[in-house]
Structure 1
Amino acid sequence: MKNLKLKLLLPTLIIAVVGCSKEQSEESHVERTDDAAAKLQHNIDIWPTLDIPVKRDDVLEQKIKDILSTMTLEQKVAQMIQPEIRDITVEDMRTYGFGSYLNGGGAFPNNDKHATPSDWIKLAEDMYQASIDDSIDGNSIPTIWGTDAVHGHNNVIGATLFPHNIGLGAANHPELIEKIAAITATEVMVTGIDWVFAPTVAVVRDDRWGRTYEGYSEDPEIVREYSASIVKGLQGHPDKDFLGDSRVISTVKHFLGDGGTEGGDDQGNNIASEQELFDIHGQGYVGGLTAGAQSVMASFNSWHGEKNHGNKYLLTTVLKDKMGFDGFVVGDWNGHGQIPGCTNENCSQTINAGLDIFMVPTDAWKPLYENTISQVKSGEIPQARIDDAVSRILRVKLRAGIFDKPSPANRAVSGKVELIGAQAHRDVARQAVRESLVLLKNQGNILPLNPKTNILVAGDGADNIGKQSGGWSITWQGTGNENSDFPGGSSIYSGFEQVVSAAGGNIELSVEGEYTAKPDVAIVVFGEEPYAEGTGDIDNLDYQRGNKTDLALLNKLKAQGIPVVSVFISGRPMWVNAELNASNAFVAAWLPGSEGAGVSEVLFTKADGSINYDFTGKLSFSWPNSATQAVLNRHDENYKPLLPYGFGLKYGDENVLESDLNEVVAQANNVNKELVLFEQTAKAPWQLTVSSDEQSEPVTSSIIELPAITLKTMDKDIQEDARTVTFTGNGKGEVSLASNFVEDLRSYVESEAAISFAIRKEDVTTAKVMLEMHCEEDCFGAVDISSQFAAMAVNEWQEFSVDLNCFIQNGTNMARVNKAFVISSNDEVSLSFAGIKLEPNSAQNADINCQ
């Protein structure tokens, strides 16, 4: 990564920037060991002191002191605990008086996906009333509800869903962004919710990252400006309507460097220099905090090996002390539990580092609450740190008027359900769709289309609002939705149909590209399936790698002499050279949200043939020239994209892409490197897990026993470098290397890899033993290794390997692996294993070969 010296316009900023030499910049990218954080030399002068417009108020500060002086330790810690609605009851709120609570993606009142706005309001009201009821806990401080409204109030049926951030970045229209945020705030306030976990200000540097679409741009310039616009739209301007009746508390996230992890690995490690951390990844915080943002969310990622949730230098020294942020820092979903030495139930390190609110979903909240109290009493957490955290929480609540506003059901816009999905809101969303579209190719000026002609619409994205909306849409991953889940919304096809029918043309929809009369043109709408964090990570930008069904559709139509207009739905730029070659025109539509009709307003002329809306969108992410060009950013050295940052055709512009692009898939440089899954211990992101029928437990100790299985450590070459597993025959036992998120292992299939490991049979047996690889949604491939295992000598280690193709042939989807290694049996048998890895160029010689 090039050391970026940005020419930033920061009128409200007092800043001292220290230069970084070329040698320092290169050194920052050297592979580092686990103690890298300890060796890292910090330079606080890199960070600015911000002129934050929301100033301290002496009267308010005295109120904070007065409230704090009346609070018990238990009440203070309760303010710092944020559980999730699926894991607490109204009675829990009455008993403990939590300072806040949240609904995660896919969490709904009464666990009902189709909960009405009235259901949301009722839960908000019930929780609020319980929080101010002091009959049990002696506490009457109002609670606040936080929600992930990241492209509209996206958990609520019928809400307006705007384009995801990647599309908004292509629009590059800060005033429109502020309007979108204000609408989002209004729709959120209708349901009685006070606080939004937005904006995401990640500057995405590797497009393999599954959260790429949550970033506005690969360049910090747009991100800085947008962050300020979103915060102003959500909270109001600091000098007018600040946190008023239709405004919510905003959260600038995720602090810091989440878009710059190695390999685009979600929750991975960022090894940028400190100068780069500010120049690239810090700019969204400059924008957001100078607009008055009241909360910041800590990031899952590490910086030089140190988890940000436990990084005191970043959370306290930089953010609070130097930059001057006086709101509160909230954690991400059990992010504190990822700090070495911590668990979800126990983590003093994160509070001491500067975290103010634990986001603690699941039932871990209660032991965490109790352990934190004990740690304050023992001195492990200083009382002053607790008082500081609670003061920050109270400061934000007082600034937001939470103590003075009516209860959620009685606020100014609460219950005005006509505002959710209001036509005026959808009109703004449709404008955002129009402005986000980027025209990549327009051979022969085929666009715009005359609506009076014969149009075929094909592709599985054409009439699919869920697909066009992507992740964080009703459900967390955006999956499992139907068009009926988006009442008031419009699919891309429905917009086409309305325009063509009104003009007197003919339009036909066929996902497979079939037709009754040969069309004048085919519009094919296709692209990525919905995904959210973790699940969206890939290791290669080749679209539909290994399963080119959409390309086959394009080529079929092309072979029939039908001009093809491609509308590509995606959460990132992808290598689509073959699809571009098969298209006369190609539109990057990103993830437009619920108002797909906006696409038709640009692609079609008016009935009289004049342009309706021209393309205005420009790439805020560079478009790759190969499948492996995932790290491709403006200002990089040797910058050679297919289409550069800022590219975007308008009608009448000269077409730059012909239909002769290179279609040879590039191979990654690391394709011949082995992937170690287990060596002495499971390697991240894999975790050793044992299961007995439906019961499953992570391996957290040297021995673990379940009815069908026992696992314990053993010594092979060095201390505890192997594991012995004993299947009891009391049901199905299973030991696995599992990941919380799916992993893309297709490159290992392409490099003809096998999974290899050392195995030892502990007794004479004819038991049935299966080796498996699992993928999401209960798919898996199983290989019976019983005969090979039976032939092994007892108490002797031997290397054993299985061709990855064997798992594919039996049902594993290598693009979506969540258990890379599974040994299972229903019989009585004991064996040991060690040294598990994926080994390229070894499939042909594997013990079990399926070539």
Structure 2
Amino acid sequence: MKNKASFITFSIALFGATGCAQDADSQASTSEQIWPKLPTVVPKDQSIEDKVAALVNTMTLEQKVAQMIQPEIRDVSVEDMRRYGFGSYLNGGGAFPNNDKHATPADWITLAEQMYQASMDDSLDGISIPTMWGTDAVHGHNNVIGATLFPHNIGLGAANNPKLIEQIAAITAKEVMVTGIDWVFAPTVAVVRDDRWGRSYEGYSEDPEIVGKYAAAIVSGLQGRPGDEFLADNRVISTVKHFVGDGGTVGGDDQGNNIDSEQDLFKVHAQGYVKGLGAGAQSVMASFNSWHGEKIHGNKYLLTDVLKQKMGFDGFVVGDWNGHGQVAGCSNESCSQSINAGLDIFMVPTKAWKPLLENTIAQVKSGEISEQRINDAVSRILRVKFRAGLFDKPSPANRALSGKTELIGHPEHRAVARQAVRESLVLLKNNQKLLPLSPNINVLIAGDGAHNIGKQSGGWTITWQGTGNRNEDFPGGSSIYDGIKQIVSANSGTAQLSVDGTYQTKPDVAIVVFGEEPYAEGNGDLGNLDYQRGDAKDLALLKRLRAQGIPVVSVFITGRPLWINPELNASDAFVVAWLLGSEGNGVADVLFRKANGEVNHDFKGKLSFSWPASPDDTNLNVKDPDYAPLFAYGYGLTYSDDVQLENLNENTSPQAQKRQSLAVMQGSVKSPWSLSLHSDGEAIYMDSNTASLNSLSVRTTDRYIQEDAREITFKNDNVAKVQIGHAFPNDMRDFSDSASTLTFDIKLNSNLQANTKVGINCDAACSQGVALGKVLTAEDIGIWKTINIATNCFAQDTDNMAKVYSPFAIASQRPVSLTVSNIVFNKNTNDDERYTCNK
């Protein structure tokens, strides 16, 4: 590697190294020095305090607890809102009005209006308090078709432009307000320490300083600044999340355990709260993770003693998707521990909201929860509602921006998103100064990300995991290919789109767009950072093009730094595009010159995450001892740099080369597969949270985390099949030996039928599959059971696993209901745990 001195870090220092946890005796004595009292940027308004106190004094216990319950739109009706008067409700990722992925802005407004009017109707619950709708607008109003989608946080961190970030947040607030929604679950201020974490792209940086600056900017953009449009008609309530330490769990394990010292918990992981709350954020979301083994949702020291008392936060704390159910001694339906710890609002999707409400009321009556604690929680909720003007504003359908659908995806908003794309791109390699390209050449645009707006946008895009989307789901958006074609065609060049890299006329250059498939929390965790481990199909494409004498520009779509040494070696230029959102045309703005030969837009992006030198460099952060990245924090070339990147080491560690397991469905269905329904000769793909076809239905449901299981119902005597598969075969010979198994978790919801079968590459009835009656009995109804079936049971259907089109399917010709999760291929399963088909 030449010019090694240029591979340096910006001088943005971390606040300290990870240390040992303090013992309980020292905790109280040190907390006074660690956690600051935040400045009062939103002073107490005595008239609001008087209104809050007066209202609380008139409320019944049931009315108070209802303010603390936040159900989800798939599991609560307008009549439920009228009866109970919930303080808030939410739409989870992938949930839409009328359960319609293509719900229009008018549909969103209609539901907001209905819920608001029901909350104000006192005929059943005896009180009129406006409800709030909360939504995950984490890179634009990302649940709504046609909205402007900005780069995910990791890309914005590379841009390092807080003023631009505040502008993005203000635009997001406007588009959210158009649909009648009051409250946004953003910003995420996680400081990511281990890039295996599947939520790495939700972090701005591994450096707390950037995270702190961005937290203040996002909160100011969403809410307005105190004294300047604060919570005005074009602003929403913001949520700083997830308190605290979610980016520092051991092994990058989602919802795992953070074992940092209290000093490092503050200096590394809490700076987003210092700056975000310092900008006036009105809500904080508790984190799924534990701190030294104690779930944050039940940690009184952090939620109450630190956040509310020491730091002086006077807004409310909301839970995260049944996170209270993970607290020791709790369930989704009952958790006094969380309320006593300082949680003010239970986020309780599924029908668990009703028993939770009833149990909480009973716990107050029994003294298990004090009424003082309830009054405090309700006062915090009402304080924010009064500050946000919800008692004075018109109903959602009649607010200032409501229904102004021209603001959804407005050209000015898209222009800002396009600027963010340009500024977030990071140039890692530009040998022989291949870039910028002339716009009048013959360009081949290849790779499965070239013309794929869903892939370039990543998770939290329309659907929760960002899967199941097509380009037509992004009206007004542009793919990377769209932008290239527009520039080249306008300058008498040609643009050939070919995913597999074939062409009719040899191009002057190939731009290959590839990278990670979309994923969200729980589903993106990795074992190591080796890109396409065991299946380097993108590398093969790069090598094939270069072997034909074609210069190659790689554009890498990713939610985190990954080990890509082979792909770097096979590229003449290499650009990290991150997860760029709906405005793919911003990439071409930077890759191509102007017609007169001048640079159009130079690269501005700099790495806000260190880049690994090996697949095992998973916990690699600037200022760490023995810091040795491939590209250091802050690295990023510009067109004025003349840096030649020599061939890099392509050897992986023995551990990285092993493939001991392969996930087919863990939380979501894994790439490249999709779930489809087959019945009566018809087939449909499941691209939302529910799907039905004739005699068959499938819906997502929760087991451990949000939507990590699939409930399958065969309704009659017609042959039907649910299949996970792909149009092209997958080589799975790693799992063809006698000790390998297809492993899955299953719960019978009804009596099992004799002809219900599981199979691989099976026909409509899975006739060559394994009958579930071989591994399950009537006694298993209602309980989860792990099944291990030897893969050689399916050898006749799979050609010894060399060509697997469908790694998992269940078929039945009789009515039956069952739920499956955690579908994995494993090697070396113990003999006594493996069903071997009597072979």
1:136 match: secondary structure: helix
Look up the match of 2:550. 562
Look up the match of 2:114. 126
Query: For the residues of structure 2 that align with 1:670 and 1:420, how far apart are their CA atoms?
Result: 46
Look up the match of 2:820. none
Query: For the residues of structure 2 that align with 1:398 and 1:756, how far apart are their CA atoms?
Result: 55
Query: For the residues of structure 2 that align with 1:788 and 1:106, how far apart are their CA atoms?
Result: 34
Q: Specify which of 13, 36, 44 is matched with residue 31 of structure 2.
A: 44
Query: For the residues of structure 2 that align with 1:699 and 1:301, how far apart are their CA atoms?
Result: 17
Alpha-carbon distance change, 611 to 274 in structure 1, aligned in 2, over 3 angstroms? same
- Cα deviation, 1:67-115, whole Å, max 9, x if unaligned, reads 1111000100000000011111111111100000001111111111111
Alpha-carbon distance change, 131 to 160 in structure 1, aligned in 2, over 3 angstroms? same
C-alpha contact (below 8 Å) 2:14/2:622 kept by paired residues: no
Task: Report deviation, 1:398.
Answer: 0.5
1:624 aligns to 2:576 (yes or no): no
C-alpha contact (below 8 Å) 2:253/2:525 kept by paired residues: yes
Alpha-carbon distance change, 339 to 801 in structure 1, aligned in 2, over 3 angstroms? closer
**AA of the residue aligned to 2:348:** V
1:89 aligns to 2:77 (yes or no): yes
1:270 aligns to 2:258 (yes or no): yes
- Greater displacement, 802-811 / 129-138: 802-811
Alpha-carbon distance change, 637 to 498 in structure 1, aligned in 2, over 3 angstroms? same
**AA of the residue aligned to 1:367:** P
2:55 match: secondary structure: helix
Task: Report deviation, 1:773.
Answer: 10
1:663 aligns to 2:644 (yes or no): no
**AA of the residue aligned to 1:162:** F
Look up the match of 2:59. 71
**Equivalences for 1:189-200 in 2 at 5 Å?**
189-200=177-188
State TM-score, norm by structure 2: 0.80
- Cα deviation, 1:783-823, whole Å, max 9, x if unaligned, reads 8999999xxxxxxxxxx998789889977999x9xx99x9x
Task: Report deviation, 1:380.
Answer: 0.6
Task: Report deviation, 1:671.
Answer: 7.5
- Cα deviation, 1:538-569, whole Å, max 9, x if unaligned, reads 11111111111111110110110000000000
Alpha-carbon distance change, 413 to 802 in structure 1, aligned in 2, over 3 angstroms? closer
**AA of the residue aligned to 2:53:** K
- Cα deviation, 1:553-612, whole Å, max 9, x if unaligned, reads 101101100000000001111111111010000000000000000000000001111100
Task: Report deviation, 1:668.
Answer: 3.8
Query: For the residues of structure 2 that align with 1:547 and 1:452, how far apart are their CA atoms?
Result: 35
- Greater displacement, 802-811 / 579-588: 802-811
Look up the match of 2:276. 288
Paired residues, what number?
A: 734
Look up the match of 2:412. 424
**AA of the residue aligned to 1:138:** G
**Equivalences for 1:17-56 in 2 at 5 Å?**
26-28=19-21, 41=27, 43-45=30-32, 46-56=34-44
C-alpha contact (below 8 Å) 1:752/1:841 kept by paired residues: no
Query: For the residues of structure 2 that align with 1:156 and 1:837, how far apart are their CA atoms?
Result: 36
Q: Specify which of 197, 207, 216 is matched with residue 209 of structure 1.
A: 197
C-alpha contact (below 8 Å) 1:602/1:612 kept by paired residues: yes
1:161 aligns to 2:149 (yes or no): yes
Alpha-carbon distance change, 308 to 782 in structure 1, aligned in 2, over 3 angstroms? farther
Query: For the residues of structure 2 that align with 1:344 and 1:37, how far apart are their CA atoms?
Result: 31
C-alpha contact (below 8 Å) 2:254/2:525 kept by paired residues: yes
**Equivalences for 1:38-437 in 2 at 5 Å?**
41=27, 43-45=30-32, 46-437=34-425
1:590 match: secondary structure: coil
Alpha-carbon distance change, 410 to 846 in structure 1, aligned in 2, over 3 angstroms? closer
What's the C-alpha RMSD, in Å, of the aligned pairs? Answer: 4.1
C-alpha contact (below 8 Å) 2:64/2:374 kept by paired residues: yes
Task: Report deviation, 1:769.
Answer: 13
Query: For the residues of structure 1 that align with 2:592 and 2:703, how far apart are their CA atoms?
Result: 58
1:576 aligns to 2:564 (yes or no): yes
C-alpha contact (below 8 Å) 2:533/2:657 kept by paired residues: no
Task: Report deviation, 1:652.
Answer: 2.5
**AA of the residue aligned to 2:363:** Q
Gaps of 5+ in 1: 10-19, 29-35, 676-692, 701-729, 733-745, 758-766, 790-799, 827-835
Query: For the residues of structure 1 that align with 2:250 and 2:795, how far apart are their CA atoms?
Result: 28
Look up the match of 2:668. none
**AA of the residue aligned to 2:181:** I
Look up the match of 2:474. 486
Alpha-carbon distance change, 216 to 209 in structure 1, aligned in 2, over 3 angstroms? same
- Cα deviation, 1:816-840, whole Å, max 9, x if unaligned, reads 9xx99x9x9x9xxxxxxxxx99786
Task: Report deviation, 1:507.
Answer: 1.1
C-alpha contact (below 8 Å) 2:282/2:316 kept by paired residues: yes
- Greater displacement, 381-390 / 545-554: 545-554
**AA of the residue aligned to 1:661:** L
C-alpha contact (below 8 Å) 1:783/1:810 kept by paired residues: no
Look up the match of 2:669. none
Task: Report deviation, 1:315.
Answer: 0.5
Alpha-carbon distance change, 431 to 348 in structure 1, aligned in 2, over 3 angstroms? same
Alpha-carbon distance change, 225 to 699 in structure 1, aligned in 2, over 3 angstroms? closer
C-alpha contact (below 8 Å) 2:534/2:657 kept by paired residues: no
Query: For the residues of structure 1 that align with 2:772 and 2:627, how far apart are their CA atoms?
Result: 49
C-alpha contact (below 8 Å) 2:88/2:133 kept by paired residues: yes
C-alpha contact (below 8 Å) 1:454/1:505 kept by paired residues: yes
Alpha-carbon distance change, 275 to 803 in structure 1, aligned in 2, over 3 angstroms? farther
Alpha-carbon distance change, 788 to 51 in structure 1, aligned in 2, over 3 angstroms? closer
C-alpha contact (below 8 Å) 1:155/1:473 kept by paired residues: yes
Query: For the residues of structure 1 that align with 2:281 and 2:588, how far apart are their CA atoms?
Result: 36
